[in-house]
């Protein structure tokens, strides 16, 4: 596993801040994601439930990439506040599979997905497929913040 750069931390903080745009949900995480080129140019961004109630942040970020920038995905990094899902109840294709299918070689995330809804092995699956996966655990508390209601039954979304 590689070490994150200062640019990685900055872009991950931007992705984490996108989670604040998520419509509240008692049955799904609030996640922010963005996709950037090696020089830090953001080519796509999204958040959970941006377009519909079942959309994940990584899907929204991928959908935001323009047709002319799609070729850049093979050298891009996807930043996401939560580990990309490897199992999901709402749709047949996981975010991990979308990342693999799009050929994104590098994934940076803050918070390993807790097993509230599903057991997640996104990071392990991506690494096994030869992708570079970087966890910046120092930012996990910030990524957890818009999701605290999921851990407190007295504070519903």
Task: Give the active site residues.
Answer: 58
Which CA distances in Å does 142 have to 5, 14, 32, 116, 139?
Answer: 18, 11, 11, 18, 5
Q: Are strands 42-47 and 32-36 parallel, antiparallel or unpaired?
A: antiparallel
Q: Is 66 helix (H, G, I), strand (E, B) or coil?
A: coil
Beta bridge partners of 46: 33
- b/e code 3-14 from CB counts within 10 Å (16+ = b): ebeeebbebbbb
């Amino acid at each position: 596993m590689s070490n994150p750069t200062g640019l990685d931390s900055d872009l991950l903080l931007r992705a984490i801040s996108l989670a604040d745009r998520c419509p509240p949900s008692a049955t799904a995480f609030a996640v922010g994601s963005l996709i950037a080129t090696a020089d830090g140019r953001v080519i796509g961004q999204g958040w959970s439930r941006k377009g519909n109630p079942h959309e994940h942040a990584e899907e929204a970020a991928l959908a935001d990439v323009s047709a002319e920038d799609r070729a850049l995905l093979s050298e891009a990094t996807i930043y996401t506040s939560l580990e990309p899902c490897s199992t999901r109840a709402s749709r047949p294709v996981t975010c991990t599979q979308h990342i693999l299918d799009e050929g994104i070689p590098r994934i940076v995330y803050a918070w390993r997905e807790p097993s509230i809804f599903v057991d997640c092995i996104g990071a392990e699956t991506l690494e096994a497929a030869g992708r570079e996966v970087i966890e910046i655990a120092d930012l996990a508390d910030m990524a957890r913040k818009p999701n605290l209601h999921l851990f407190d039954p007295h504070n519903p979304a």
